[in-house]
Structure 1
Amino acid sequence: MKTITLAATLAALASPVLAEGDAAAGEQQFNRQCVACHVVRDDAGEVLAGRNARTGPNLYGIDGRALGAIEDFRYGDALVALGETGATWDEESFVAYVQNPTAYLREATGDGRARGKMAYQVRDAQQAADIYAFLATF
């Protein structure tokens, strides 16, 4: 059973997102799925989306930002190491990561022991793409 689940996960990671995200739908999904852990706070400290959640990193300016790059946030080692290779957030990496952080990190790093610290998973690829489109507006 684990082999089938892993194979399905890896196939999903390899599948391209067919449609770009919808920012308006992404705002709704962000408010449903992300606000418990994440905030979008600009450099002046103004909260643009979410609440004052601190479990996950601030998602302001995520588009094109290096993975694991928010200062003073305790990311997992695998995400930091991947960011140090020059990997940046784009729609494809974001969608794959939020659908299964650990599987994404294992595939991207080639390390079968890599683990993601984010426990929540966005189950639908289109919703993940929509969330990214919303975040990319900041």
Structure 2
Amino acid sequence: MNVGKYFGVLAVVPFFAGAALAGDAALGEKNFKRCKSCHAITADDGTKIMKGGKTGPNLFGVIGRTVGSEEGFNYSASMQAAAAAGLVWDEENLAAFVLDPKGWLKEVLSDPSAKSKMTLKLKKGGDDVAAFLASAGSS
């Protein structure tokens, strides 16, 4: 993996780094209500942790998962490029992504034309949503 390729993440993440680790999972669960129109959280055994839509990928176990790798979901070419590069979701990456999906991809891929199918941008609370998703299951 070309680590230098991801050096740009530091420009997006620094002010999230400490906050993401201190995110409030309970507040994140409340904020996730905006996300569940497209995303569900369903455990591998079929247990529904959070009912939601199927427009986006299942977010069970997203922390620790390779970006753009949920089986059965048709990701954008940019998310597939992030997956091919081996980029993994952690709380910091996810907190930054939910605030600006397209901007985050452009930064981590060093590709000004990168695109995401996710159009929702949270105005705040990315660290809380990431903490909630971390608490909602692990891969």
TM-score when normalising by structure 2: 0.83
User: Match for residue 27 of structure 1?
Assistant: 29
Structure 1, unmatched stretches of 5+, are 1-9
Report SS of the residue matched to 1:48.
Answer: strand
Structure 2, unmatched stretches of 5+, are 1-8
Alignment: residue pair count: 125
Deviation (angstroms), 1:93: 0.9
Report SS of the residue matched to 2:15.
Answer: coil
Matched, 1:110 2:110: yes
User: Match for residue 3 of structure 2?
Assistant: none
Q: Please list the CA deviations of residues 69-121 of structure 1 after superposition, one character each: whole Å capped at 9, or x if unmatched.
A: 11110111111111211110011111111111111111111111111110100
Q: Identity of paired residues, percent?
A: 37
- Moved runs in structure 1, 4+ residues, more than 6 A? none
Deviation (angstroms), 1:50: 2.9
TM-score when normalising by structure 1: 0.84
Matched, 1:37 2:38: yes
CA-based RMSD of the aligned residues comes to 1.7
Q: Please tell me whether the aligned partners of residues 26 and 132 of structure 1 are also in contact (alpha carbons under 8 angstroms).
A: yes
User: Match for residue 51 of structure 2?
Assistant: 50
User: Match for residue 6 of structure 1?
Assistant: none
Q: Please tell me whether the aligned partners of residues 66 and 89 of structure 1 are also in contact (alpha carbons under 8 angstroms).
A: yes
Flag the 1:89–1:14 CA change in 2: closer, same or farther, 3 A: closer
Instruction: Tell me, in whole angstroms, the C-alpha distance in 2 between the residues paired with 1:62 and 1:97.
Output: 13
